A = this chain, B = another copy of it.
Amino acid sequence: MVGAGQLARMTHQAAIALGQSLRILADSPDDGAALVGADVVVGNFRSLDDLRAFAVGCDAVTFDHEHVPNAHIAALEADGVSVHPGSAALLYAQDKAAMRRKLAELGVPCPRWAPVASAADVNDFAELVGWPLVLKATRGGYDGKGVWVVESPAAAASLLATLTPSGLPAPASSEPDGGEVELIAEEKVTILRELAADVARSPFGQGAVWPVVETVQQDGICVEVIAPAPGLDEERAEQAQALALRIASELGVTGVLAVELFETPEGLLVNELAMRPHNSAHWTIEGARTSQFEQHLRAVLDYPLGSTAPTAPVIVMANLLGGPDDVTPKGIDERVHHLMAHWPDVKIHLYGKQFRPGRKVGHVTALGDDLADVRSRAQAAADYLMNGDRRG
């Protein structure tokens, strides 16, 4: 697995049960997965030489993030390396313009959009969809970074003026591409809530889908995932699942595909695609018969996929986002003690990261029969771990 963040860390856990050991390409020996893996190579995922050296002896190569240059992935494929997802599919998770174009071709419902290169382009698009609208960098965005809501022509012009390459926040554990920032504009749709339909697809073509979940966002970052999405109409849930399976198949995705959706008054619209284990399916570790990490490994190794049946009526995952202070390791440890004592059935996942404001340092999962109860336990446990006695 290229990349050594929490996704690789949790994939390694799943690999152990399958009798495998994950080889990990890390930026640094301190990366979350590098701290726990047996076969860690420190190297640069933007270097084709490093990628080629890393791939030698791997049964399959897969990814913890979308930032590996697509041309390098194609070069590995040309070398005969089994890469999943492949470059042709991954492009649609790397480039939002390519993704929107492809989904339009397939007739998949999306917000209206247009590529834009100037303030004039944005104003033209605004004629069609009105203000405010959304500007997105086509590449390198994540967790709300690389996405801007602009209210007026003046705001759009001002943003465009600042969007030099150095103006775009660098993606996690990587350097910016160094090229020009390319943008698309999207209409700002009325969002009732956000959903995710997570599926896996193997090279053989087998697909498997987990229950559709609600992803609760705060400031563009997912803070909570509720499985299954509460009160979601069965027909709409099946529509979302079928859509995700169809996208996986039409795009030739191998591995896990997360389809982030907006639920709007007019129906479901696709927001983003991710082709790797995804935050919206962390609940599957305890909450589904097969976790997304095991399923991703099964898929990229072309094993038959596992059962996606849920293990409880309600499963809630809450992200651990670093609070405003610099808590000491001892302080965190004390909070873990309290959390374990208060909520003996809440499961903790820590990613081996330093706590920093807003940083995803782990998650917790609660399960049960009653939505309000399960949510409140997950939220309270996460809040306590992040904020200690300062919690509300």
Which residues of A pack against B, CB within 8 Å? Answer: 9-10, 12-13, 15-19, 21, 34-38, 40, 289-290, 298, 303-307, 309, 311-312, 336-337, 340-341, 344-345, 347-352, 362, 367
> Is A347 touching B17 in the complex (CB atoms < 8 A)?
yes
> Is A337 touching B19 in the complex (CB atoms < 8 A)?
no
Given A344-B306, A344-B307, do A350 and B12 touch, yes or no (CB 8 Å)?
no
User: In the complex, what distance in Å separates the CA atom of A348 from the CA atom of B290?
Assistant: 11
> Is A352 touching B19 in the complex (CB atoms < 8 A)?
yes
Best-buried of A38, A305, A350, A362 by chain B (most CB within 10 Å): A38
Q: How distant is A270 from chain B, measured CB to nearest CB, in Å?
A: 28
Of B17, B35, B307, B345, which one neighbours A38 at CB under 8 angstroms?
Answer: B35
Q: Which of chain B's residues have a CB closer than 8 A to the CB of A344?
A: 290, 304-307
Q: How distant is A115 from chain B, measured CB to nearest CB, in Å?
A: 42
User: In the complex, what distance in Å separates the CA atom of A19 from the CA atom of B10?
Assistant: 11
Q: Which residue of chain B is the closest to A312 with respect to CB atoms? A: B311
User: In the complex, what distance in Å separates the CA atom of A362 from the CA atom of B17?
Assistant: 9
User: In the complex, what distance in Å separates the CA atom of A345 from the CA atom of B295?
Assistant: 12
Of B38, B306, B307, B345, which one neighbours A37 at CB under 8 angstroms?
Answer: B38
Of B21, B341, B352, which one neighbours A21 at CB under 8 angstroms?
Answer: B352
Given A38-B40, A345-B289, do A311 and B309 touch, yes or no (CB 8 Å)?
no
Q: How distant is A279 from chain B, measured CB to nearest CB, in Å?
A: 16
User: In the complex, what distance in Å separates the CA atom of A384 from the CA atom of B196?
Assistant: 37
Q: How distant is A283 from chain B, measured CB to nearest CB, in Å?
A: 14
Q: Which of chain B's residues have a CB closer than 8 A to the CB of A303?
A: 336-337, 340
> Is A351 touching B19 in the complex (CB atoms < 8 A)?
yes
> Is B40 touching A307 in the complex (CB atoms < 8 A)?
no
Q: Which of chain B's residues have a CB closer than 8 A to the CB of A21?
A: 35-36, 352
Of B306, B337, B350, which one neighbours A345 at CB under 8 angstroms?
Answer: B306
> Is B38 touching A350 in the complex (CB atoms < 8 A)?
no
Q: How distant is A29 from chain B, measured CB to nearest CB, in Å?
A: 9
Q: How distant is A171 from chain B, measured CB to nearest CB, in Å?
A: 24
> Is A345 touching B17 in the complex (CB atoms < 8 A)?
no
User: In the complex, what distance in Å separates the CA atom of A341 from the CA atom of B307?
Assistant: 10
User: In the complex, what distance in Å separates the CA atom of A341 from the CA atom of B367?
Assistant: 28
Of B13, B40, B367, which one neighbours A16 at CB under 8 angstroms?
Answer: B13
Q: Which of chain B's residues have a CB closer than 8 A to the CB of A311?
A: 311-312
Sorted from nearest, which 8 A-B pairs have the closest CB atoms?
A19-B350, A307-B345, A304-B341, A304-B340, A307-B344, A16-B36, A289-B345, A17-B349
> Is B352 touching A17 in the complex (CB atoms < 8 A)?
no
